Structure formats: C-alpha cells, structure tokens
Amino acid sequence: MDFRRILNLRKSFYLAFSLLFFSNIFLVSAQDMKLKKRIAVFVFEDKTDKSWRWWNRKGVGEGMADMLTTELVKSGEYIVIERQELDRILAEQKLGASGIVTPQSAAEIGKVLGVELAVVGSVTEFGYKKNSTGGSIKGLGIGVKSQSATVGIDCRLINTTTAEIIAADNVLKEKSTKGLKLRAHGVSFNDQNSFDESLVGKAAREAVEDIVGMVNNNMPNVTWQAKVVTEKNGVVYINVGSEHGVSSGDVFMIYQKGEELIDPDTGISLGSVDKKIGEIKVTNPGIGNGKASQCSIVSGSGFNKGDFVRVQ
C-alpha cells in the first residue's frame, strides 16, 4: 500500500469521525435541555374495607393521590396538573372524581390537559391491626400491645399519547411497633402533622416514595412535546415557557399530525405518521409568567393551533 493511499484513508477516517462527533453534539434531547414533562395524578380508586371512614374525613384514594401530587411537585422535576383543573375535565367528561378511570379514558383526559403521563391506580389496603398479650413488669400485670399498619397501592403509569401502560406495580408497605400507649385512630389526611407521625402515615409515605421512584425511572421513556397556540404576523406562540424549563435560544421542530394508527386487535394507538413542517427559535420564554413562549420562525410556514412542538 503506497503512502498516498494511506494518507487518503486517514483523511477519510478523520472526516467520518468528525461527522459522527459533531452530529452527536447536535442531537439534543428533552433531558439535555432540562425540559419538564407534565403529569396528571388521578384520584385513586378505594378498594379497602372502608373501616377508616369514621375517623378520616378525606377519602383514602383522594388522600393518597394528594400525597403523591405534593411529592412530585416538591421534586421540581415535573409540571403537575392542579387537582381543580383535573376535576373540571373529569366533570366535563362525566367521569366524576371517583378514581375509576381506565387507561384509555386517562389518556384521553391527559391529551385534553396536555400531559405526557397519567398516574392511575387503587388503594387496596389501608389501616391498622392490633394485638394484645398479657404480661407483667416488676410484678404489675399489664397488657402489652403491638400494632401494625399496612398500606397497599396498585399503581399504573399511562403514556397519554398511546394509552399504553408503560409501568405497573403493587406497592405494599407495613410499619409496626410495640408500646404501652398506642394511638390506632384519630389521625387523618386532614391533620398532616399527626398523620405523618402515625404508623399508617409512615407506611403511606414510603408507598408514595416508591411511586415517585417509578415515575422517575420511566419518565425518560416518555416523549416530551408541546403545542402551537397560535401564529401571528410571523411570530409563533407555544404552550410551554420558562416554567417548563424552556430558555431563550431553544430550537424546536413543528410537526403536523398525520393519520393515527390504531391497533386492530387492542384498539391502542400506535402513534401517527406526523409531518415535519418547520423550525422555530424561542425569543421570549416568559409569556404568562413562564407558561408560554414567543418564538421566531427559522423555517417553514402554515403553523396552526394544535401542531406539535418537539425537540427533534
């Protein structure tokens, strides 16, 4: 092999390497841009024996959903839809706030709310068990009580784009203790401090932490997207802003929805063949206190309300 051929091979190698290197630099993901995805937490269905009702004014399904919502908001990683807005859509769809929601209906409501992920489920166990045994301390007869609390939740994460269950788990937590004075009842979701200090409160907290972990582990598999609000005089407005992690200079692609592909056996959406129609660049992500962004058009035209906004 002569010197010139070796030199040409080296040049070809370096060119290929450079193209691969720089293409990887510009393949930006929603995670890279720190964009926050949106979640709706539905009231969990109550499948317990209802023995808690006499001491707890708030339903256990509602209480557990509220705890999960609070933890997701506190994480700062997501945009969590407010309960009032979710209840309004549920009422409009005549589903009520009972928590009995199917993956399909959760996906449809999620699309209306503009969320990427819906959390649905049911509380299967929630309450105390008490045992008493006779005993003595320093010659004095005394009843030593042991107490345990169990919280069980069946949880499912729904991709609202496809109505597919992307993760499901049965979370079961139990806390127990022994003592002379134990308070089995009298605490509720309505008294947060006493609830958090109770056995059932601690079991509930651990269950919620496990569900937050489920969300964190599975959210990278859910595609981030937003929508065009309107286009006016060459300026495009989209329904995400600085509140969602959007920054000035961010570049997004605009897609027009194509025909939706429905699986003939399951009825589940397989997605759609969407058409890329342009590119926009964020100039002001602070519209509406960060709820929307103003964008300039880099390429394309004919953007309409409801067109998809994606990273790639």
* 214 and 236 fall within a common domain: no
Q: How many domains does the chain have?
A: 2
pTM: 0.77
| Domain-located, residue 14 | no
| Domain-located, residue 203 | yes
* 164 and 139 fall within a common domain: yes
Residue 248: predicted pLDDT? 96
User: Among 165, 199, 221, which residue terminates a domain?
Assistant: 221
| Three-point CA angle 295, 301, 305, nearest 5° | 65
Q: What percent of the chain has pLDDT over 90?
A: 48
* 48 and 152 fall within a common domain: yes
| Domain-located, residue 29 | no
* 136 and 210 fall within a common domain: yes
User: Among 201, 221, 241, which residue terminates a domain?
Assistant: 221
3 state SS of 311? coil
| Domain-located, residue 24 | no
Cα separation of 291 and 82, whole Å?
Answer: 14
Cα separation of 306 and 95, whole Å?
Answer: 25
* 173 and 230 fall within a common domain: no
pLDDT in tens, 150-180: 999 999 999 998 888 999 999 999 988 865 4
Residues of 59-98 as b/e, b for ≥16 C-beta within 10 angstroms? Answer: bbbbbbbbbbbebbeeeebbbbbebeebeebbeeeebebe
* 230 and 115 fall within a common domain: no
Instruction: Output the domain CATH number for residue 130.
Output: 3.40.50.10610
pLDDT in tens, 99-140: 467 788 888 888 888 899 999 999 999 988 766 555 444 444
**Strands 117-137 and 45-46, bridge-based pairing:** parallel
| Domain-located, residue 6 | no
Burial group, residue 236, by CB count within 10 angstroms (0-12, 13-18, 19+): buried
| Domain-located, residue 144 | yes
| Domain-located, residue 9 | no
User: Among 156, 188, 221, which residue terminates a domain?
Assistant: 221
Q: Judge contact between 66 and 12, C-beta under 8 A.
A: no
* 171 and 248 fall within a common domain: no
Residue 56 has pLDDT above 60, yes or no: no
Cα separation values, 28 from 88, 103, 251, Å: 36, 31, 10
pLDDT in tens, 22-31: 444 444 556 6
Residue 20: predicted pLDDT? 43
Six token digits for residue 127: 């309450």
* 142 and 244 fall within a common domain: no
* 83 and 188 fall within a common domain: yes
Residue 232 has pLDDT above 60, yes or no: yes
**DSSP β-bridge partners for residue 251:** 281
Residue 52: predicted pLDDT? 56
* 89 and 140 fall within a common domain: yes
Please give the residue range of the domain that contains residue 209: 37-221
Beta-carbon contacts of residue 23 (< 8 Å; ≥ 6 apart): none
pLDDT in tens, 244-295: 999 999 999 999 988 878 888 877 667 778 899 999 999 999 999 999 999 9
Higher-pLDDT residue of 292 and 148 is: 292
Instruction: Quickly state the pLDDT bin for 141 (edges 50, 70, 90).
Output: very low
Mean pLDDT is lowest, of 1-5, 34-38, 39-43, 81-85, for 1-5
Instruction: Output the domain CATH number for residue 270.
Output: 2.40.10.410
